[in-house]
Amino acid sequence: MTLQLQIPKKFEVGKGCDADRSLGDLLLRTEMSTKANTSRLPKEYVGLSEDVLVRRIGEAKAKLGTKLVILGHHYQRDEIIRWADFRGDSFKLARHAASHPEADSIVFCGVHFMAETADILAAPHQRVILPNLSAGCSMADMAPTEDVLQCWDELQAMEGVTGKVIPVTYMNSTAALKAFCGANGGIVCTSSNAAAVAKWAFQRGQKVLFFPDQHLGRNTGLKMGYILDDMLVWDPFQPLGGNSREAYRKAAFILWKGHCSVHKRFTVDQVKEARKRVPNVKILVHPECEHEVVDIADAVGSTEYIIKTVTDSPPGSAWAVGTEINLVKRLAQEQPDKLIFCLDPVICPCSTMYRIHPAYLAWVLEALVRGEVVNEIKVDDEVARWAKVALERMLATT
Ligand code: 13P
Ligand code: SF4
């Protein structure tokens, strides 16, 4: 049965959003207009038509066979996801990387921190390639190592706080921050296991220092039964993070002042508007959203949880989803018997994920066919060793 459901005009996705332009798109032109990126993508790949790119990617992929595995994060555009041998969230993809030893080359269509994690977990003979090196993550960038180290030193020097803090970092962080956590008795978490990981941390210390997403940290604390007064935010741009020593002595959660620019866009007003316009709609959001939104949503969970929840729902269900637009659009296309739309009527994609354009994929694959490796992500051995400690603690916990 195919349900003919009309998406109310107000919820049409992508209005005024560059993601709606087709393959010869804005992003590539934007990238090409900046000097740094012009030097990365060889000229011969600029301006190729969609048909040519599809043919060349297909041919290169076929030649590389099982020596290649292409991983695609759920937030990637359709023109990339069609080539992925595996789709997943950041953690699931990192595990896929480690479980395909027959592949020498792992082409990670995601963002930088994901490729780093894949490199840390991959076997020594495997190399991880990020098609466009400028595909970073603004949230991960909000916790630079120098600021993290300064915060740690100041907390360790604080009477009543010294020795009581366990650092916990979200998977969406640099390898350096994961290594910092590993070397300081800390651990990594994902959006699906953050509460279990925080419980692990509270068994070993009295305070959790949570990086880099304050919202995931706050939502996790609230889910565990803590109240807002148990938490404070460390602002790296303020002396002593912007709080008094007494406040740190009392706090259970010290949340790094970082956020995801995609998930921060969802608001309480959008939830109210969706409920007003679509009777029986269920609001389903990612825990990177602000807690006011999470509090009034019907369900909250990781990217994989969102996919499973929508997929398991009966035909005719209506879902307003608070997460990245490429995933929401794909869910809507693949499940036409349900009404699935983005909570934000004008949302744009994760702009850094979007930097993986098919032209970059064609470039790195054709280079591999010639025996050349371009855009390899290689984490320093010592950093990788400590990051792995933090990742393995997580794996043993959940
Ligand atoms: P997951 O892939 O772990 O759900 O994280 C969401 C996200 O923001 C990815 O960058
Ligand atoms: Fe980073 Fe948010 Fe994009 Fe994920 S969706 S890569 S957390 S900016």
| Cα–Cα distance for residue pair 76/84, rounded to 1 Å | 10
| Cα–Cα distance for residue pair 162/172, rounded to 1 Å | 27
pLDDT, position 101: 87
Q: Is residue 189 very low, low, confident or very high in pLDDT (cuts 50, 70, 90)?
A: very high
For the stretch 217-232, pLDDT in tens is 999 999 999 999 999 9
| Cα–Cα distance for residue pair 286/256, rounded to 1 Å | 18
Q: Is residue 198 very low, low, confident or very high in pLDDT (cuts 50, 70, 90)?
A: very high
Q: Which ligand 1 atom is at minimum distance from the Cα of 89?
A: 2
Q: Is the pLDDT of residue 341 over 80?
A: yes
Ligand 2 neighbours (beta carbon < 6 A): 75, 111, 137-139, 172, 260-262, 324, 350, 352-353
Domain 263-342, what architecture?
A: 3-Layer(aba) Sandwich (3.40)
Between 52 and 21, the higher pLDDT residue: 52
Contacts of 105 (CB under 8 A, 6+ apart): 64, 67, 68, 69, 126, 127, 129, 368, 373
pLDDT, position 82: 97
Contacts of 211 (CB under 8 A, 6+ apart): 143, 148, 167, 168, 169, 170, 173, 177, 181, 256, 258
Q: Is residue 64 very low, low, confident or very high in pLDDT (cuts 50, 70, 90)?
A: very high
Domain 40-136+352-380, what architecture?
A: 3-Layer(aba) Sandwich (3.40)
Measure 330 CA to ligand 1 centroid, in angstroms: 16
Report domain extents, the chain.
40-136+352-380, 140-261, 263-342
Q: What is this structure's pTM?
A: 0.89
Q: Which ligand 1 atom is at minimum distance from the Cα of 91?
A: 3
* Ligand index nearest the alpha carbon of residue 260: 2
Q: Is the pLDDT of residue 153 over 80?
A: yes
Q: Is residue 364 very low, low, confident or very high in pLDDT (cuts 50, 70, 90)?
A: very high
Q: Whose CA is nearest to atom 2 of ligand 1?
A: 89
* Ligand index nearest the alpha carbon of residue 212: 2
Instruction: Decide if 40-136+352-380 and 263-342 have a common fold.
Output: yes
Q: Which ligand 2 atom is at minimum distance from the Cα of 137?
A: 1
CATH class label, 140-261: alpha beta
Residue 292: what residue type?
Answer: E
Measure 172 CA to ligand 2 centroid, in angstroms: 8
